[in-house]
Structure 1
């Protein structure tokens, strides 16, 4: 358990918990540790190297072994990345030439020949039946021998690992940060919160837990530790029941409730009874999840506990035996009656719902008086709305300008996306601008006012993490919609997967589009070689793991957009496979090396979303010729089988148009508000590190900052969202 907690700290914070060990002469071991880290693109900070050098050699070696295993997994170097074409990207054949060669080899194989001839007589040949197609034809060691050593380049990634506090202090800080997050966490981080919550159940707790899913995970840990869960709605109890059944606490997917012990059943029923007794109107919340409450009632047996009559009312409402009038139903009745002013007045008692309904309210308003009432209501209740909702609505209104919004992109919590034309009438422009000004003022009021703020310019294009589900777990990840510059001559994508039970074939492809989102070309197993680059070859079975690569020369790309994608051709879905991840590397033109070199990896993300086509990010060429990445973290539904880049060109292009043309609120937006509010905002200069504490926002924590400085990086960017 201790080692697992240590891995969580390193992965989330890029800090090594201060080792507990005797003093000694660990300098040699520490420098060897540092050299090993550099081989995979990491490095010890000066403080970490100095501290480790003063510990015993055994302590340093133990720390090195655990840390190296963690960062190698973080970058994707914990597995063997082989390629079909042994000296890829050199000598990749023409596709037709390659298929012809595979066919010739099959005809020379006595066992395979009869079946191949039979297929040829029908006029259709299945490539998967050719013995040499889709499987590695050489060992991993033979592939390594075919490649020169990687030449070091100034542009190679070097991620600094800093020394943290002792493990218990780091674990507590990480737990409090995740538990008190004002934005929902992604699935991976939510699972990590569960591990931390069980360990920290008896320790310090956050003052508030704004996100209900986080509260459910923490409540499950509290329940197991014998503490009373934190419940103030009937939905909190439902989420807790899902958590103890290892189900979906977001309530997006149905949970199969387990048989529960009597103590758990009593805790859930007592919680329901207390919530309803204190606020009977909360019975209306049952209607939003009626079927789930019915199934839960079958497990809790409320009739066995007459001392909690209010809990029984919950299930009576779910079964339709007791009526409850929902708040949403009352609002809808007012809309149907054309009473926008009445709807506004009612919604003021639920500020979050008022904000989420602004678009409809403005479009439904019959005249200036009603539109003024909407704006006035927003001004009145804005201080009561969470910062995340304020920012979300601000971003939404910005993209509802009359000249934009031609495409609507819908993304669910799992990252499944689809796009449609936006046929809605425009929001009145005057009111849109007035509301934006109100929301800007409210956000500025909540932002901290540090005496001095230092900002790395590279972080300004990072989108605000208004939902943790808009960012996948991994290395170098950015929230959906973020834009970052890409510096390098060679761009190389990679995908790795390992099947669990069934034969599984994932296909890495890259779609090239022009400025109008029309297809220019693509690279895939059906087009192995083009002017722009090469594909490493198709692997169709991954019992021991498999990798595919695409090598792109950015200067040769004949188009404006490059969209890498991973298609499931057959077998297990991303969430079913034992492991699956995607990433990209950047190299200089003269660099050689293996197909996979960890210190050239700029991004590696887990593939764990719904759908059968993954779209991690896209690349766009600017007018000055520079390239930028726009982070997507999206999944298309795709077909049940045989997904190919040729079959989803239109849907990918439409989705990309909707995402690219939408502007996200970024770190630059918040720092601009802070500067306008009087904060001294300056550009970070590594050559002039201040002696006093500062607030720093950047992509990585720099060395030399005062220990009392506040540091915001992508790992804790959620802390920048005002409450």
Structure 2
């Protein structure tokens, strides 16, 4: 139950509490008010604060209850901000007194060669500087670090995140469950895991579950409860089998299917039999090998009453040939029969719109009319994705970037011929009209300025949830004179060395400079020192003095130099802080943290975001959520300069759909009877009662069906 409570606190910034008992005398339950104020003070030390309604409700509870609840809430928000671990720094005075890189290595080498004991510890053969005794491990304790730094002095601009009063836990859990389950956009892996916990805890399920991966997770909960799964394609059944086996419901990686109980085999085969029509059997070939493995577990020959299900496995084994829709469309296009391709795609409007650019390049005059007809049958996410695609075809692009579900990106030159501008403008108008028609009435709409440049969350697969996270392509203002990013990791089974680095570029994405373990400092940035072992956890930092920056583009990166990838380490997360130049404090101060999120994925180089200086001297963050493949070991910032610059430039220069544009459409649908809605990064303390609040974590709820 505490896991569900923590999910509500960290995902919704609400503390679930039962409603007050009618007729109870306020404050009559003991020392609840004192405990509530103590909790508020403890929360403030990590950058959080109780709202007035939450503080008042806590004051009416027994003191012991407040203390127990406070411990859980404090643990949850400390983990959210990254304060649940001790962040030591290699150089004890960081960011002061960090030595020159060559000076440091020469000093370490001198100490090792002149020490008769240290010399005996050096391995034979060529001298590896990274193997010098004492390198890569903390030379001092965390207590020594505390003693070496002055107390943190808060400032007015430090982050204070409000925790609001929630409803009872069951209501909050159900609300979070329905929000994730009914999302129109794919969820992050962490949200899929949370969805499984929520589905098992909630008795009911939403009527509409548009994303297939979400449906698989919920179907697994239904199957466990003895209910029939909700499927309308053969691939839904395959995803369900993967979910029941603890595998990958996205089907990107093969699942090792477990042995199913007889009742489960019957339920899966019965569901498959109901959807395995000739028109849908063509989808089996896309995941042929996984279907073969599943057939070995389900034994379809033992269930002659499900002949259609048996045919699906015949297609997988190649006994029965059923071409897929995509293969038939590709054959028609390859032969120049665009009209035939359009006819095939009329039954799948979403597929037609995903191919619209390719179809328009054929020059067939029937394509725009077919697309205009298809928009009424495609999902809202497809319409928004196509809208963003077409608006980026108005002008020639220097290059194209492709990002998969893991955040892996690759770029290519744009060799596509331009599309007719009149056709693009006509299609944009058609899309805007259809999108607007589907939008809800949000009533009196207020959009905070900081939300205007947040990108619409058309997919969250590469975005790990965390504090202050925004979708790829979003922009957020950076306040403060000092920017400090950090990485913390703890190895699980083998020595693991991560390295934090920062690449600096000029406005043309050239003239590279960097700060990393191979170059401790430049004229405006400083590195905290290299750690090569994280048995007990390790933290690295980079300070950037924004006013002194000679390069307008700063790109933090995290490299796997050796050991476990991000998704195998016991813990790995990245974040950044902002401070004023005069602020003292430890290298890590939770009240200064603006963003923190887990690192994950099999890529060996993480690019969470880039920092850009505008013409007026202000700085903003551009959210990337990229993971480069890198090398198996020994990744260096010097080895990724070209790829990093190319991919960052492609995202920075792309015209993403943002809340500012979306709000202009929402206002055309708003009426005085629709209540009031506020779009904001974090809920303010003075919201009028009854106002619906939309933050980046719930922005997906506005994506139309």
TM-score, with normalisation over the residues of structure 2?
A: 0.97
Alpha-carbon RMSD across the aligned residues, in angstroms, is: 1.6
Name the CA distance, whole Å, in 2 between partners of 1:515 and 1:679: 44
Q: Which residue number in structure 1 is paired with residue 66 of structure 2?
A: 60
For the pair 1:667 / 2:649, whether they are aligned, the reply is no
Contact 1:415–1:610 under 8 Å retained in 2 = no
Q: Which residue number in structure 2 is paired with residue 6 of structure 1?
A: 5
Query: What are the superposed Cα offsets for residues 98-128 of structure 1, whole Å, 9 maximum, x if unpaired?
Result: 1111112212332331465965xx5xx3122
Residue 431 of structure 1, aligned match among 404, 423, 435: 423
Superposed, 1:634-673 pairs within 5 Å as: 634-673=626-665
Superposed, 1:37-186 pairs within 5 Å as: 37-114=43-120, 116=122, 122=126, 125-186=127-188
| Shift of residue 25, structure 1, vs aligned partner | 3.6
| Shift of residue 678, structure 1, vs aligned partner | 6.3
- Most deviating of 261-270 and 186-195: 261-270
Contact 1:693–1:705 under 8 Å retained in 2 = no
Task: Classify the secondary structure of the residue corresponding to 2:397.
Answer: coil
| Shift of residue 476, structure 1, vs aligned partner | 0.3
Query: What are the superposed Cα offsets for residues 125-157 of structure 1, whole Å, 9 maximum, x if unpaired?
Result: 312211121000111111111100001111100
In structure 1, runs of 5+ residues without a counterpart are 682-691
Q: Which residue number in structure 2 is paired with residue 316 of structure 1?
A: 314
With over 3 angstroms needed to count, the CA separation of the structure-2 counterparts of 1:117 and 1:174, relative to structure 1, is closer
Contact 1:21–1:56 under 8 Å retained in 2 = no
Q: Which residue number in structure 2 is paired with residue 696 of structure 1?
A: 678
Superposed, 1:624-643 pairs within 5 Å as: 624-643=616-635
- Most deviating of 333-342 and 581-590: 333-342
Query: What are the superposed Cα offsets for residues 301-345 of structure 1, whole Å, 9 maximum, x if unpaired?
Result: 111222212111110011110121321222122212312123223
With over 3 angstroms needed to count, the CA separation of the structure-2 counterparts of 1:135 and 1:29, relative to structure 1, is same
| Shift of residue 704, structure 1, vs aligned partner | 3.4
Name the CA distance, whole Å, in 1 between partners of 2:550 and 2:486: 21
Q: Which residue number in structure 1 is paired with residue 698 of structure 2?
A: 716
Query: What are the superposed Cα offsets for residues 610-667 of structure 1, whole Å, 9 maximum, x if unpaired?
Result: 2100000001110111101000010000011100101110110111111111111011
Contact 1:107–1:116 under 8 Å retained in 2 = no
Q: Which residue number in structure 1 is paired with residue 215 of structure 2?
A: 215
Superposed, 1:441-480 pairs within 5 Å as: 441-480=433-472
Q: Which residue number in structure 2 is paired with residue 705 of structure 1?
A: 687
Superposed, 1:361-372 pairs within 5 Å as: 361-365=359-363, 370-371=364-365
Name the CA distance, whole Å, in 2 between partners of 1:693 and 1:676: 15
Residue 27 of structure 1, aligned match among 28, 33, 41: 33
| Shift of residue 707, structure 1, vs aligned partner | 3.6
Residue 385 of structure 1, aligned match among 373, 378, 395: 378
Q: Which residue number in structure 2 is paired with residue 300 of structure 1?
A: 298
Task: Classify the secondary structure of the residue corresponding to 1:715.
Answer: coil
Task: Classify the secondary structure of the residue corresponding to 1:149.
Answer: coil
Name the CA distance, whole Å, in 2 between partners of 1:194 and 1:117: 50
Please identify runs of 4+ aligned residues in structure 1 that moved more than 3 A. 19-25, 114-119, 675-681
Q: Which residue number in structure 2 is paired with residue 605 of structure 1?
A: 597
Name the CA distance, whole Å, in 1 between partners of 2:19 and 2:373: 54
Q: Which residue number in structure 1 is paired with residue 285 of structure 2?
A: 287
Contact 1:416–1:610 under 8 Å retained in 2 = no
Q: Which residue number in structure 2 is paired with residue 687 of structure 1?
A: none
Query: What are the superposed Cα offsets for residues 646-705 of structure 1, whole Å, 9 maximum, x if unpaired?
Result: 111011011111111111101111111233556689xxxxxxxxxx94111111112333
Task: Classify the secondary structure of the residue corresponding to 2:117.
Answer: coil
- Most deviating of 546-555 and 693-702: 693-702
Size of the aligned set, in residue pairs, is 698
Task: Classify the secondary structure of the residue corresponding to 1:384.
Answer: coil
- Most deviating of 87-96 and 323-332: 323-332
Q: Which residue number in structure 1 is paired with residue 342 of structure 2?
A: 344
Name the CA distance, whole Å, in 1 between partners of 2:597 and 2:227: 36
Task: Classify the secondary structure of the residue corresponding to 2:184.
Answer: coil
Contact 2:481–2:545 under 8 Å retained in 1 = yes
In structure 2, runs of 5+ residues without a counterpart are 22-28
Contact 1:533–1:550 under 8 Å retained in 2 = yes
Contact 2:396–2:418 under 8 Å retained in 1 = no
Q: Which residue number in structure 2 is paired with residue 684 of structure 1?
A: none
| Shift of residue 21, structure 1, vs aligned partner | 9.0
Name the CA distance, whole Å, in 2 between partners of 1:342 and 1:284: 18
Contact 2:47–2:590 under 8 Å retained in 1 = yes
| Shift of residue 20, structure 1, vs aligned partner | 7.6
Q: Which residue number in structure 1 is paired with residue 537 of structure 2?
A: 545
Query: What are the superposed Cα offsets for residues 472-491 of structure 1, whole Å, 9 maximum, x if unpaired?
Result: 21100000000011111000
Name the CA distance, whole Å, in 2 between partners of 1:180 and 1:118: 61
Name the CA distance, whole Å, in 1 between partners of 2:216 and 2:579: 44
| Shift of residue 231, structure 1, vs aligned partner | 1.3
Query: What are the superposed Cα offsets for residues 237-275 of structure 1, whole Å, 9 maximum, x if unpaired?
Result: 000011111111011111121222222222111111122
Contact 1:179–1:193 under 8 Å retained in 2 = yes
- Most deviating of 656-665 and 669-678: 669-678
| Shift of residue 551, structure 1, vs aligned partner | 0.7
Query: What are the superposed Cα offsets for residues 577-629 of structure 1, whole Å, 9 maximum, x if unpaired?
Result: 01100000000111010000001000001101221000000011101111010
| Shift of residue 19, structure 1, vs aligned partner | 5.0
Contact 2:475–2:623 under 8 Å retained in 1 = yes
Query: What are the superposed Cα offsets for residues 334-357 of structure 1, whole Å, 9 maximum, x if unpaired?
Result: 212312123223212110001100
Q: Which residue number in structure 1 is paired with residue 26 of structure 2?
A: none
For the pair 1:526 / 2:518, whether they are aligned, the reply is yes
Task: Classify the secondary structure of the residue corresponding to 2:255.
Answer: coil
- Most deviating of 20-29 and 425-434: 20-29
Task: Classify the secondary structure of the residue corresponding to 1:328.
Answer: helix
